[in-house]
Amino acid sequence: MTERIPLKRRIKDKTDYKQRLGLLKSSKPRLVVRRSQKYFTVQIADYDHKTSSDYVICGCKSKNLKKYGWKASGGNTPAAYLTGYECGLKAQKNEIEGAVPDIGINRISKGSNLFAAIKGAQDAGLNIPLDEEITPSEERIRGEHIANYAEEGDFSKYQEKGLDPAELPTHFETVKQKIKETIGE
């Protein structure tokens, strides 16, 4: 009797195939949100049955928010939201109306910045099933928690880039408006 060996990506804890199969059965594009140490990547991906592989329709990285004037970190909650918002607007340009969220093997935790990215895409106009209770608060998405902590914390990296952390909510709104104007509705 032969022993069944798990697939390589399952062994390396990179892919949950049971979850992936459920997402593919929906026959809708997936809003794929991934987080690295410093940045977020948000993509609209779909599955091609002919080639048995995924293809990316559009995607955005928080690293690229700099072109809209973003001076804060690319790995915080406001950056996640803005990356999702940008991807949502690009998806609409590609005539995508909705998607199912795909956060991969990340654990679901209330207020996670992964859900901020999904909320950003939803606010851009995509139809994405998302429970409002699990998303971060509006204050957190706008960066008010960072602004409130500005007096106590060390924000030298923000100041090096010319951003007073107390002004982050205003900066967030400015960048969001610039993304909307650049990509359009």
Quick: pLDDT tens for 30-83.
899 999 989 999 999 888 777 777 788 999 999 999 999 999 999 999 999 999
| DSSP 8-state secondary structure symbol assigned to residue 62 | G
CA distance 167 to 26: 42
Q: Is 143 helix (H, G, I), strand (E, B) or coil?
A: coil
Given a contact cutoff of 8 angstroms between Cβ atoms, the answer to whether 84 and 64 are in contact is no
Query: Domain map of the chain by residue range?
Result: 16-183
Residue-averaged pLDDT of the chain:
85
Quick: pLDDT tens for 121-152.
999 999 999 888 989 999 999 999 888 888 78
Quick: pLDDT tens for 68-96.
999 999 999 999 999 999 999 999 999 99
pTM of the model: 0.86
171's tokens: 């900066």
Burial class (CB in 10 A: 0-12, 13-18, 19+), 117: buried
Pick the CATH number of 16-183 from 2.60.120.10, 3.30.420.100, 3.40.50.2300, 3.10.580.10: 3.30.420.100
Residue 174: what are its φ and ψ, rounded to 5°?
A: -65, -45
What is the end-to-end Cα distance of the chain in Å, rounded? 60
